[in-house]
Amino acid sequence: MPAQLRAPAASVSVWLATALVVLAAAVVPPAHAAGESVSYHIVVSPEGGPELYVHMAVAKSDESGAPAVSVHIQLPEGVAPESVIASGSEAAGGARGVEGRERDDAVRITPVSPRIVHVSSDAGSSVAVRYPVRLRGGLQNPATQSGAPYTSVHLGDFVYVAGRDTLARVVDGAPASSAHLTVSVPAGWRAFALNLGPVSPERPLAVENLDELVFLAGPLSVNVQESDGRRLTMVTAGPMPWQARDAVQSARAMITSLADKGFGRFLTDVTLVHIRYPGALRLSPVIASHTVGDGTLVQWIGTGGLDWWRKHAARDLIAWLLQRTVTVAPEAAWFTAGLPEYAALLLLHHLDYVSDHDMYHALHTLYATGVHYTGPGWPSPASAGVASPPSHAAQRVLQFGAPLVVFLLDVELRAASGGAASILDVWLHAAQTQDGAHAPLHTAALLPPPGKFGDLSAFAENFLFGDRIPPSDFDGVYRRWLGTQ
């Protein structure tokens, strides 16, 4: 193991020291041949600054037998062509073979544009290329960074690395369809690729989409739970303001409850990633959350406690499952915009994570906030989703008015069905309607038939397509809702 990897992992600044990329590519101009492979090896070191060094080995795979390579490589943004170093084909055989290698005069690098270089060699069937990438620091809200969540960031004791802005690509012919990833980290550290699992230097991990590749490296905690054939993985980076085991238990209870309510066949393996954010932003209880790929929810954690985390975890889980089950037309955007906030409260109340007293105050806050964005001065929920480009007023209606409309719809459903149905039944009905269909659902298709849970046409006319102001008596609305529990 290189000496730099034996340095202690407690250093605040993190240096992504070296990385090997082994790319099999055809000679220009033919497209990539079947059977070519792409592999990346990244070595993380805790010394120096937040910098990434990538070593790329490009191997010719044609059958002509000519010992020559000629490829065009597109560099990540910010990497200067003059910073690229190339060496000979013997480096392609292994990740450590190119560490510390200097320029090789037998390999030629010619800048073609500010981000593309031409690499060629008349001897040997492969070449190795090395270049540095400077990672940005974690000083701003990750949700506001360009390309989030596929944007790399240096987080003090952790690094969040995305393939989209760090890995160079061969641009001759068709792109390779798959890749392999290995990562070496210092003692006490782990590397975890989102949606793929742990990464090590010994066991290559298959990567189907380099643009969606994200891995986290640092002193991580990884907890895996199996329940009813579904896997829940919780990855924690940094000291959290709550115990990881409590979060795992809570998330598992939420998923089990959703399955019991009829969503079991729509649920799959899910990974929750918690990253303790550094610097001043850590003082904020709410920072950001992202969905990465199809099954990973990333939450950037501030000072909020376990109750705060449960609320946001429930909302993110419901939003993730809603995205998997229902696609709506623009005029029905109120449903997908409003359901997560309100359904999260229902889920937590059902699991006794939220008391009756806390539920009253949470619904009162939702109600009092949303009522400001209803009435003749604001777009109706249906028209807010249609607005193009979205106006400020339309965005406010979808963000704050839609949860209130979903709550009022739930009250109507419960009252009309004598407590037998709720908004979750509307969601399940929509998911079953959507299952296998590609056309987005309109509001009329979202609402169940009149004979199933009662006639909701008057409600839709007044509060979904109209601009009626909800009743000012929240306590009266709450008593109607509470009486059907």
Give the pLDDT of residue 46.
64
Residue 383 has pLDDT above 50, yes or no: yes
Residue 19 has pLDDT above 70, yes or no: no
The domain tally of the chain equals 3
Q: Any idea what the CATH number is for the domain that residue 7 is in?
A: 2.60.40
Q: Is pLDDT of 271 > 80?
A: yes
Query: Are residues 190 and 319 part of one domain?
Result: no
Q: Lowest-pLDDT range, 31-35, 255-259, 450-454?
A: 31-35
Q: Could you tell me the CATH number of the domain that includes residue 302?
A: 1.10.390.10
Is residue 426 situated within a structural domain?
yes
Query: At 142, is the pLDDT very low, low, confident or very high (cuts 50, 70, 90)?
Result: confident
CA gyration radius for the chain? 26
Residue 31 structural domain? 3-134+162-216
Instruction: Indicate the pTM of the whole model.
Output: 0.84
Distance (Å) of CA 452 to CA 406, 421, 429 = 18, 9, 11
Pairwise pLDDT comparison (11 vs 99), residue with the higher score: 99
| 149 in a structural domain | no
> Each residue of 56-109: pLDDT tens digit?
777 766 555 556 788 888 999 989 999 988 887 544 334 333 344 455 677 889
Residue with tokens 């990333």, as numbered in its chain: 298
Does the residue 141 lie in any domain?
A: no
The more confidently predicted of residues 151 and 278 is 151
152 falls within a domain: no
* Peptide bond just before 403 cis, omega within 30 deg: no
Per-residue pLDDT at 50? 66
Which of 283, 307, 324 is the last residue in one of the domains? Answer: 324
Q: Tell me if 127 sits within 8 A of 117, measured CB to CB.
A: no
Phi-psi region of 218 (alpha: psi -120 to 50; beta: other; left: phi over 0): left
Rounded distance, CA 73 to CA 80, Å?
Answer: 12
Q: How far apart are CA 47 and CA 11, in angstroms?
A: 7
Q: Minimal CA–CA distance to 37: which of 17, 54, 55, 61?
A: 61
Residue 143 maps to a domain? no
pLDDT score recorded for residue 63: 56
pLDDT at 5: 34
Residues 208, 236 within the same domain: no
Question: Does residue 7 register a pLDDT over 90?
Answer: no
Cα(280)–Cα(302) distance, rounded to whole angstroms? 9
Mean pLDDT of 389-393: 91
Looking at the predicted structure, is the pLDDT value of residue 18 above 50?
no
Mark whether 74 and 184 lie in a shared domain. yes
Mean pLDDT in residue range 362-379: 94
Q: For the chain, what percent of residues have pLDDT higher than 70?
A: 83
Distance of CA 356 to the CA centre of its chain: 33
Residues 235 and 336 in one domain: no
CA-to-CA distance for 121 and 126, rounded, in angstroms?
Answer: 8
- Encode 115-131: b = buried (16+ Cβ within 10 Å), e = exposed: bbbbbbbeebbbbbbbb
Specify the pLDDT at position 47.
57
164, pLDDT greater than 50: yes
In this predicted structure, what is the pLDDT of residue 357? 94
Q: Which of 285, 306, 324 is the endpoint of a domain?
A: 324
* Residues β-bridged to residue 142: none
Locus of tokens 């795979």: 61
- Looking at the fold, whether 227 and 369 belong to one and the same domain comes out as no
Residue 161: pLDDT over 80: yes
The pLDDT tens digits for 446-457 are 887 776 777 788
Confidence check: pLDDT of 213 > 80: yes
Share of the chain above pLDDT 90, in %: 44
pLDDT of residue 210: 87
Confidence of residue 403 (pLDDT cuts 50, 70, 90): very high
Whether residues 71 and 180 share a domain: the answer is yes
- Token pair of 349 as six digits: 């109340």
Instruction: Tell me: do 46 and 83 sit in the same domain.
Output: yes
Q: Is the pLDDT of residue 115 over 90?
A: yes
Q: Is it the case that residue 15 has pLDDT exceeding 60?
A: no
Give the per-residue pLDDT at 359. 95
Helix, strand or coil, per DSSP, at residue 113? strand
Same domain, 18 and 117: yes
Q: How sure is the predictor about 177, in pLDDT bands with cuts at 50, 70 and 90?
A: low
Q: Which pLDDT score is estimated for 347?
A: 97
Q: Is residue 193 part of a domain?
A: yes
Residue 80 in any domain: the answer is yes
User: Mean of the pLDDT values across residues 277-302?
Assistant: 83
How is residue 13 annotated by DSSP? S
Bridge-partner residues for 206, per DSSP?
180
Query: What integer pLDDT is reported at residue 29 of this predicted model?
Result: 31
Kindly report whether the peptide bond that precedes residue 449 is cis, defined as omega within 30 degrees of 0.
no
For residue 373, pLDDT over 70 is answered with yes
Same-domain check for residues 237 and 99: no
173 pLDDT band, cuts 50/70/90, is: low
d(CA 153, CA 166): 11
Q: Is residue 151 domain-resident?
A: no
Residues 104 and 195 in one domain: yes
Same-domain check for residues 227 and 212: no
Confidence of residue 349 (pLDDT cuts 50, 70, 90): very high
Average pLDDT over every residue of 185-200: 90
Q: Average model confidence (pLDDT) for the chain? A: 82
First-to-final CA distance of the chain: 62
Alpha carbon separation from 135 to 85, 155, 187, 421 (Å, rounded): 19, 10, 22, 51
Sheet holding 15-25, edge to edge: 85-87, 126-134, 51-60, 15-25, 38-45, 179-184, 205-207
Do 316 and 352 belong together in one domain? Answer: no
Last residue of a domain, one of 324, 351, 381: 324
CB 427 within 8 A of CB 313: no
Q: What pLDDT is attached to residue 250?
A: 96
